[in-house]
């Protein structure tokens, strides 16, 4: 506003100078015989010169002020650009130091998405495994089940049943635990069930093929269950350490793996023992009788293995349902295994490393 104010003041001074000049001219026209105005005229002319000097000074001051403000604006813009560039260079190198107020809407969304993925990496892996299992089952339908295809179907069924049972039991235990929630338990249980089902399915098939028996002995089941849970624990800790960023020591890796191996072997043996005592759940049309889901699955799988006949998608899903019912006792034991794991996590949080 300064240049405009100075120009307005100059305009006012110039106007005053013009009026003083007008008065001087009028005074000079008065006859000296009537009234001697010589001193007045001299004073007015001196005042006019003074006002002209003031007007010239104010004009120069306005121009200098305007030039000064232009320089300030130019320098300020150059400094602001230099600061922005330095700031961008700094945050490009040290992006983790960038405060939220400096982030754009996209950056904030992306940072939030990355944090969510880090915190919920188990859910992402579980979804990927489930999708892969479904694709395997759907792709296998209509084909002849050779050895590799049969193994793939076994692993896929292990993933799907493990996810369902592990998620359900984990959610129940998490909801009952004061240190967790239903959703946290669901996520961890589903992940453990999916990975555990994949590993134990593969190990069980390998042991069965090596030993040449269709049904594993109690010792073999305990070893498969122990190794399956132990490897699942190692994978879980590795993910929490390198994806989520939790501080997990080498000792914790070892202790968690040994604890999981022990509980896996224990509850697998308990399931086998209870299976000898408690009659298995049999439901007509599902896993009992000619024409049941289990019968259809076994019949088509046997024919596919013997003479290369194709197996239908319906038979695959019926086999999945029959396997789920056959393992009801193991599913119930999974609740106690999940509770034991929850107690172990609580114990680790209370006892210093």
User: Model confidence over 180-219: pLDDT tens digits?
Assistant: 889 999 999 999 999 999 998 888 888 877 777 667 788 8
E strand or H helix that includes residue 311 = strand 310-311
Q: Tokens representing 241?
A: 């350490």
Asked if 342 and 179 touch (Cβ cutoff 8 Å), the reply is yes
- Quick one: 4 exposed, middle or buried, by C-beta within 10 A (0-12, 13-18, 19+)? exposed
User: Model confidence over 60-90: pLDDT tens digits?
Assistant: 766 777 787 788 888 999 898 898 888 888 8
Report pTM: 0.69
Measured CA to CA, the distance from residue 112 to residue 109 in angstroms comes to 5
Nearest CA to 121 out of 244, 256, 253, 247 is that of 244
Residues of the chain with pLDDT under 50: none
Q: So what's the pLDDT on residue 256?
A: 92
Nearest CA to 319 out of 275, 285, 273, 287 is that of 287
E strand or H helix that includes residue 310 = strand 310-311
If you compute the radius of gyration of the chain from its CA atoms, what whole number of angstroms results? Answer: 44
3 state SS of 143 = strand
Return the domain boundaries, the chain: 2-97, 120-281+327-350
Q: So what's the pLDDT on residue 331?
A: 83
Q: So what's the pLDDT on residue 42?
A: 63
Q: What is the DSSP string of 247-271?
A: ---HHHHHHHHHHHHHHHHHHHHHH
**Quick one: CA dihedral 270, 271, 272, 273, positive or negative?**
positive
């Amino acid at each position: 506003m300064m240049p405009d104010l100075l120009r307005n003041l100059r305009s006012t001074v110039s106007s005053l100078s013009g009026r003083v000049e007008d008065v001087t001219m009028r005074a000079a026209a008065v006859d000296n015989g009537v009234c001697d105005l010589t001193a007045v005229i001299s004073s007015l002319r001196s005042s006019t010169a003074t006002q002209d000097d003031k007007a010239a000074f104010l004009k120069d001051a306005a121009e200098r002020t305007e030039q000064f403000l232009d320089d300030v604006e130019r320098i300020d813009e150059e400094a602001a650009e230099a600061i922005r560039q330095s700031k961008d260079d700094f945050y490009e190198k040290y992006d983790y130091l960038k405060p939220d107020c400096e982030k754009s809407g996209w950056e904030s969304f992306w940072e939030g998405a990355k944090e969510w993925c880090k915190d919920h990496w188990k859910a992402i892996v579980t979804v990927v495994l489930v999708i892969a299992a479904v694709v395997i089952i759907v792709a296998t339908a209509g084909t002849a089940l050779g050895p590799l295809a049969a193994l793939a179907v076994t692993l896929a069924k292990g993933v799907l049943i493990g996810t369902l049972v592990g998620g359900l039991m984990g959610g129940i235990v998490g909801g009952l635990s004061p240190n967790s929630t239903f959703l946290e338990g669901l996520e961890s249980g589903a992940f453990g069930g999916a990975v555990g089902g994949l590993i134990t399915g593969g190990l069980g098939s390998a042991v069965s093929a090596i030993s040449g028996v269709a049904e594993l002995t109690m010792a073999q089941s305990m070893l498969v269950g122990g190794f399956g849970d132990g490897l699942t624990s190692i994978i879980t800790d590795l993910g929490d350490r390198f994806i989520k960023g939790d501080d997990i020591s080498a000792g914790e890796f070892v202790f968690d793996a040994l604890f999981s191996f022990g509980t896996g072997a224990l509850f697998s043996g308990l399931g086998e023992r209870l299976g000898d005592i408690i009659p298995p759940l049999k439901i007509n049309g599902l896993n009992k009788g000619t024409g049941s889901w289990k019968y259809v699955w076994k019949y088509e799988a046997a024919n596919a293995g013997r003479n290369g006949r194709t197996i239908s998608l319906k038979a695959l899903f019926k086999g999945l349902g029959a396997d789920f019912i056959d393992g009801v006792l193991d599913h119930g034991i999974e609740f106690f295994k999940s509770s034991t794991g929850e107690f172990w996590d609580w114990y680790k949080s209370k006892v210093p490393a």
